[in-house]
Structure 1
Amino acid sequence: MKKIFKNIPILFSLLIVFTVSSCKDELPEEITELVTDRLFSPVGVEAKVINKTQVVLNWTKNPKAESYVIEVYENDSLTFAGSPVMIFTNITNDDIPDTIKSGLIGATQYSVRIKAVGSEIAESKWSAVYFKTGEEQIMNAVSEESVSAHSVKLTWKAGETATKIILTAGQSTLEHVVTAEEIAAGEATVSGLIEDTDYTARLMKDDKVRGSATFTTKIDLNAANTIVVHPDEDLVAAIQAAPSGSRIVLVASDDGSNEFLKSAGQTINIDKGISIRGYLKSNKPTLHMQFRLTAENASLTVKDVILNGQSDADMRDHVVQLTQSVACGDILFKDCIITNYGKSLISGASGIAVSVRSFTIQNCKVSNILTSSADCIDVRSGCIENATLLNSTFYNCAPDRDFFRLDDASSSFPGKSTIIKVNRCTFSKVNNDAARRLLYVRFANNEITFTNNVVANSVGYYTNQTATNIVLFNKNNYFNAPNYLVYTGTALNVKTDNSGTYLQQNPGFVDEANGNLTITNATLLEQGIGANISW
């Protein structure tokens, strides 16, 4: 048996070789080209929206396609119902990627389908993609000259269609129907507005926004409780005589003069609620003055003013001085330039048990607060219940002292706490001393958030106080300010930013040596880090 089966594998192998060799000549030719009776549908179709209302269409080129057809459907999501609003033909491979530059409406969903066309071969089936345009912006910025106390002239590209303009201010809404004449001219004047009010205007085509603009109406100089003061008039007397709740408006003289108390700066007592306003943002008045809050419920708002502590005679010590043990109201500086004070932004000396409901600096440029024998925000025996620094720059403030100094006077203010919020601010050469702190806060029951800020050119650090309660660091940028991240000095209990969300990039200040802390770093601008003052 063994002999009979011994050669079977050899015989089987020979049989396979013979069979394969016999069939080889019968195999079909190798397929090197796929022949079809129609073009393949476009592949890799993409749509990228640019400039709000333009779209770039891209797909893989088909060498057999002589052209392409593109159809665009409005308010559609790949259903392709009804008729297209645009049809493009004779698009060639050389046109890919193809851009639709006009005719699209803002904030609208579109579907696009594309097919390939050739000669002597059937056209392809459709390939599709959808996209949504951004809100258009065909409105122009509103100039100061176009605004009055109760009206505004709004402009856009002449001939562009619109149906109405919607103006909103808080809960107040006003609609203006756009006429054919206004469309042709590209401008419309809207009346019936409230004076001294922030508005947003939206240019509409039916329910689509075609553009928007913001503006603030001017102050009505004839309104109730409004007192107009020119540089050649007695500002101090006007403030002292004004009833509580009055609005002092500083208006330039006919000769263009717009500077108050330049020859000898003044310190004026504020014993009421009062606001001091510049009339024009583009021509802020310069005021050489120090404010002293002296009475219960005294409050102060200063807006669109340049506060310069340096007069021809001397330099004022403080922007605000708290001299009485009273409960003050709100203190607000907005859209101001504050510069050249010898000691502090706000000061409450030892022994003055004063409380302030809120202290806010918003959209301001602050520089050269020299803190001679003082600190920048310096309250020793009082309580600031809410301190807010928002979208402001601080240059050479507390150059060799503490920036915040709020001592523990909590025993004099049972139940009160101090809330500090610093957001989107830029600090350079602030508390620029290795022993000095940005947040020297000892008032019990404090809570501090420090977010989206830039700290630059400072050898100081945050704090070494266990009572300083920093509840949030987030997205701050540090440049040439090492001790805020890794402290290398000898102080104990030092707190640093260990959030893991910080950046370390050069802000690219426009002119840091002269206090211009405008940021040019694209990453910081995109992420909203540091001040971005637009007035």
Structure 2
Amino acid sequence: MKIKYILKGLIATLFLTLAMTSCENYNEPLLDGIGNTREFSPTSLTAKLRNQTTVELNWTVKEGENNYVVEFSADDPTFSAIFKTVQVTASQLPIQIKLEGETVYSIRVKAVTPGLDDSKWSITTATTLSEQLFLPIIPGDITGKQATLRWVANSNVTQIVLTPGNITHTITAAEKTAGIATITGLAGETTYNAILQNGSKNRGQTSFTTEVDPTNAIVISATDDLMSAIATAASSGKVLLLQPGDYTSQSGLVTLSQTLTLRALTSWNKPKLKINILLNNGVGNLNLIDLDLTGVGMTNASVITISSAGTFNDILIRGCYVHDYTRSLFANTAGAAKINSLTVDNSIVKNVNTNIGAEFIDVRTAYIKSIVLQNSTFDTCSDSREFIRLDQSAGLNNTGLTSDVLINSCTLYKVCTTVASKRILYIRFTSNTSTVKNTLITDTATAIYSNQNGTATPTTPPTFSNNNYFNASLLYTVGAAAITVDKSTTYGTLDPQFTSAATGDFTIKNQALLDKKIGDPRWIK
């Protein structure tokens, strides 16, 4: 019996000892924290690339911490050689550090507080892109056959390589000092990619498009007869180039039965015109390029109209500022026309379709194979009507034809906004597809994409990708089953923080939105 009780006592003592040991171990970290002799390591360390070679660092600041040391090593994850050391205070976060291009940087951060040991390092990495020593191209630097390129003066650079054509321009000592070189022998209307190099290392990249070569074109000035010149260009098949100037005193309707290309002689100085255009059968293509088109004072005028049957190829509006037309950008209310494409590219369209009589792109009786709106801004357009309307055109619908709509990298501001439930995609042509991507839509609280789901004339559900909506909640908020909304997992609702929307400056200030590259690229700076 005594042995039994002795064993029970020993077991109880053993459990008590283990419990006490466990309690001591449990409290050790707490006691160590209370009497801590080392700073805590920075947490949530992030490194984001800004502007090719600038890395933005940020981390969570703990109470009582204020000073940090940041070290960078170049192409060396072991930190055997430190490329750069920076002292940072908490108030400087997030901080941007300029680094060299085309390098993988290992980055470590530690907290430093007097009276405590330095914290352990927190580590991350960032890979920079090629440097950007090229400076912005100045209006007039690019002509039809040559380009003047500028970079940071006195930089170590040896040549500029252009493609297409594999053109190499060796930089002279004088050009290096000045930071300016002119490259000749280029082709007109060609987009070139230029790489600035020091030996084999890239130190800058830019692209540009040469101006039109006027050699075989008709060139006029604002003092010439505009309407006569348009007629001559259309009948001859030649491009009509307009020198900079104000042509608005020669206003009116331009009626065409032949192909016409009407464009600025210099893209950076747009000629001002007050015209609207009617296309009749026989027009192959219409190209409006680098023009300032106004409808001020014109009564109930659409920019472009087709009202007759026929086959038309491509309609292009590129690099234009189109503004103050009370009716449609494109109108078709009569005529079973077949149109290959309507494209608006790199343009600003403002105050177009501001009365209540039509839609912005209004196709009632024709068929358009492709509508593309890209790299463009639409400011206060079709405020009380639909944005894109494609009807079930008699004799063309259900004949094997499909209409495709693409809105890509655009900024839409106050579109379809003054009357409830106006549609951005009012597409009733039976066979249709549509895509909206990389697009910023703001200040259109009542607009919807479509309410055709499940009806006799359904809008095929669009493909949505990487869009942002601000003050435009009906474009993504699920409601009635018939309403089309963006159900993707890629859209955002960030405030773009426009510089001055009221004056037409839609430059984005929200860095998160800039990172996602949403909207018209001209406002992403």
| TM-score bucket of the superposed structures, by smaller chain | 0.7 to 0.9
Question: Over alpha carbons, which structure has the higher Rg?
Answer: 1
C-alpha displacement of 1:71: 11
Q: 1:471 to 1:94 in 2, by over 3 A?
A: closer
Shift of 1:331: 0.7
Does structure 1 residue 407 correspond to structure 2 residue 391? Answer: yes
Partner of 1:390: 374
Q: Is the 8 A contact 1:271 1:295 kept in 2?
A: yes
2:155 to 151, 160, 164: 160
Residue equivalent to 1:106: 101
Which residue of 284, 295, 303 maps to 2:281? 295
3-state SS in 2 of match to 1:236: helix
Residue of structure 1 aligned with 2:451, choices 464, 483, 492: 464
Residue correspondence of structure 1 range 219-230 to structure 2 within 5 A: 219-221=212-214, 223-224=215-216, 226-230=217-221
1:87-486 equivalent positions in 2, closer than 5 A: 106-108=101-103, 132-168=127-163, 171-221=164-214, 223-224=215-216, 226-242=217-233, 243=235, 245-252=237-244, 258-260=245-247, 262-263=248-249, 265-311=251-297, 314-315=298-299, 317-350=301-334, 352-368=335-351, 369-409=353-393, 411-412=395-396, 414-432=399-417, 433-453=419-439, 454-465=441-452, 466=455, 467-486=458-477
Work out the CA distance in 1 between the residues paired with 2:459 and 2:86: 68
Identity %: 31
Please give the secondary structure, in 2, of the residue aligned with 1:135: coil
Looking at structure 2, the residues matched to 141 and 365 of structure 1 have their Cα atoms a distance apart, in angstroms, of 21
Q: Which amino acid aligns with 1:285?
A: P
The answer to whether the 8 A contact 1:294-1:323 is kept is: yes
Mapped to 1, the partners of 2:430 and 2:5 lie a distance apart of: 102
- AA at the equivalent of 1:337: Y
CA deviations over 1:336-380 (Å, ceiling 9, x no partner): 111111211111113x10111100111211122224421111111
- TM-score by structure 2 length? 0.75
Give how far 1:399 is off: 1.9
Distance 1:162-1:372 versus aligned 2 partners, 3 A rule: same
Count of aligned pairs:
459
AA aligned to 2:362 is D
What residue identity is the alignment partner of 1:241?
T
- Measured after TM superposition, the shift of residue 441 of structure 1 is 0.9
> Superposition RMSD on alpha carbons, in Å?
4.1
Given residue 377 of structure 2, which amino acid in structure 1 is its aligned partner? T
- Secondary structure at 1:524 match in 2: helix
Moved more, 177-186 or 288-297: 177-186
Question: Retained in 2: the 8 A contact 1:275–1:302?
Answer: yes
Question: Offset at 1:319?
Answer: 0.6
Q: Which residue of 2 aligns with 1:510?
A: 499
Deviations 1:19-38 (A, max 9, x none): xxxxxxxxxxxxxxxxxxxx
Change in CA separation of 1:6 and 1:299 when aligned onto 2, cut-off 3 Å: closer
Separation in 1, partners of 2:52, 2:86: 26
Q: Post-superposition, which runs of at least 4 consecutive aligned residues in structure 1 deviate over 6 A?
A: 5-10, 46-51, 54-58, 74-80, 91-95, 110-113, 128-131
- Match of 1:456, as an amino acid? D
What are the superposed Cα offsets for residues 182-225 of structure 1, whole Å, 9 maximum, x if unpaired?
A: 3233332211111232222111122211112222323333x11x
CA change 1:479–1:92 in 2 (3 A) is closer
Contact between 2:370 and 2:403, CA under 8 Å: does it hold in 1? yes
Secondary structure at the aligned position of 2:521 is classed as coil
Q: CA deviation at 1:460?
A: 2.7
Alpha-carbon distance in structure 2 between the residues aligned to 1:389 and 1:281? 20
In 2, Cα distance between equivalents of 1:503 and 1:179: 49
* Normalised TM-score (structure 1): 0.74
Query: Is contact 1:78-1:129 (8 Å) kept?
Result: no
Note the residue ranges of structure 2 that are not aligned, 5 or more in a row. Answer: 12-40, 59-70, 90-94, 109-122
